[in-house]
Each structure stands twice: as C-alpha cells, then as structure tokens.
A and B are shown apart, each in its own frame.
Chain A
Amino acid sequence: SAVISQKPSRDICQRGTSLTIQCQVDSQVTMMFWYRQQPGQSLTLIATANQGSEATYESGFVIDKFPISRPNLTFSTLTVSNMSPEDSSIYLCSVGGRSTDTQYFGPGTRLTVL
C-alpha cells in the first residue's frame, strides 16, 4: 500500500483567489489522480497526472481552472484558480497500487470558498 499526505487539510478562501493543494506519496508511482467531491456528492475525476507529460483532463475540467504539476514520481500539485463558492469541495489525490488495480487515497483537502 501507499501512504499519501495532502496539504493543506482544509482552507477557507476568498472568491477570486487561487489555492494550491499538495499531494505527497511515500513511494514512486507512475500515475496520480485528482478527484473532486462536492458537498454530499460522490467523487468525480478531475485529471490524471503523469510525470513528464501534461495532465489529462476529464470532460468539464480545464487546465486554466485546475492547473496540475507533476515534477517527480512522488509529488503533485493541483491549483484551483479564480475560485468561486461553487468550487467548495473536498479535493482528493490518489495513486494506483504497484501490482493491483486498487487505489490509495490521500486524506483530502476540504476547501470552502466564501
């Protein structure tokens, strides 16, 4: 299994500002995933972050709004840009297991936009 940490664990931000969320894994992984969970809802995949290439975004998510960095095999960041109250969600990163199809999730970042 992988141990994943996220920073910050929570934040309250003003409309129009940006927040960068960090995801750190205790081992090298090829793929990292970023999910959004809106209040009371299920998880929706934002993008897949591969080291050495641009992130692949899902329908409804764009790079200008959610830029992602993946500088190495243990770290990734997701920025939520020009925030509005609709961006209030829990943002989670996850990684795939080395030899299994299961995924391991970070503890999430709870974002509130006023």
Chain B
Amino acid sequence: SQQGEEDPQALSIQEGENATMNCSYKTSINNLQWYRQNSGRGLVHLILIRSNEREKHSGRLRVTLDTSKKSSSLLITASRAADTASYFCATQTSGSARQLTFGSGTQLTVLP
C-alpha cells in the first residue's frame, strides 16, 4: 500500500522558476528518498535523507525532512525543461529489507 500522499499532484512552472513538491507519510521511517520518472520509464534515484537529518542538498536539489510532521519537501531550483517528469517520494522503514513504499507522485511540467 502507498505510504502517503504527495502534493501537488501536478505542477506547471516556467523555466528558471523553482519547483517545490511535498510528501507526507504515515509510519516511522529509516530514510526517505526521492525518485524521478520520465514518461513511464524506469525510476532514477535523486537523493536520500535519513531520519536523523533535516536537510540535504545535491546540485539544484534541496530536500527537507520533518519527522515530527512526517513530511518532506523537494525543491528544484532554477528549473529546466529537462526537469519535466514525475517525482516520487519513497520511504524505507527499519527492518524492511530495503523495500520502498512510494507516495502518489507529482507530475512536474517545466515550460520553456
């Protein structure tokens, strides 16, 4: 079953703008990860944040995690048309044998 929800379901922005996606989850986690999927293809891992971390950066990506609110956000700065994709958060719990539970996803469209 899905761990939680992501919002917005769809986001459309202009190139150069920032995009923020939010993810909520239900159970205690070991880590939370963000993945990107282009046009129904395989998923690409973007970034992982552990439960004892609050913020993490990778290039134009910034991820925050608030375990008290069971929520995370993904910020993509200075977006590009190539960032157009579906973005999913996924959680891993302790002792889950590394399996992932995915959120509902956000479809991001970056207009040139």
Q: Are B103 and A42 in contact (CB under 8 A)?
A: yes
Contact with A along B51-84 (1 / 0, CB 8 A): 0000000000000000000000000000000000
Query: Closest residue to A39 on the B side, CB-wise?
Result: B40
**Least Cβ–Cβ distance between B88 and chain A, in angstroms:** 6
Q: Are A102 and B2 in contact (CB under 8 A)?
A: no
> Using a CB-CB cutoff of 8 Å, which residues 85-109 of chain A contact chain B?
90, 92, 94, 96, 100-108
> In the complex, what distance in Å separates the CA atom of A45 from the CA atom of B98?
12
**Size of chain A's interface in residues, with CB distance under 8 A?**
25
Q: Are B99 and A92 in contact (CB under 8 A)?
A: no
Q: Are A100 and B102 in contact (CB under 8 A)?
A: no
* Max chain A C-beta neighbours (<10 A), residue from B33, B35, B43, B105: B43
Total of A-B residue pairs, C-beta within 8 Å = 60
Inside 8 A of B1's CB, which chain A residues have their CB?
Answer: 44, 59
Q: Give the size category of B's interface with A.
A: 20 to 34
- Asked if A110 is an interface residue, CB under 8 A from chain B, the answer is yes
Q: Are B92 and A101 in contact (CB under 8 A)?
A: yes
Query: Closest residue to A106 on the B side, CB-wise?
Result: B42
> In the complex, what distance in Å separates the CA atom of A43 from the CA atom of B103?
8
- Asked if B20 is an interface residue, CB under 8 A from chain A, the answer is no
Q: Are A107 and B45 in contact (CB under 8 A)?
A: no
Query: Closest residue to A60 on the B side, CB-wise?
Result: B1
- Asked if A74 is an interface residue, CB under 8 A from chain B, the answer is no
- Asked if A48 is an interface residue, CB under 8 A from chain B, the answer is yes
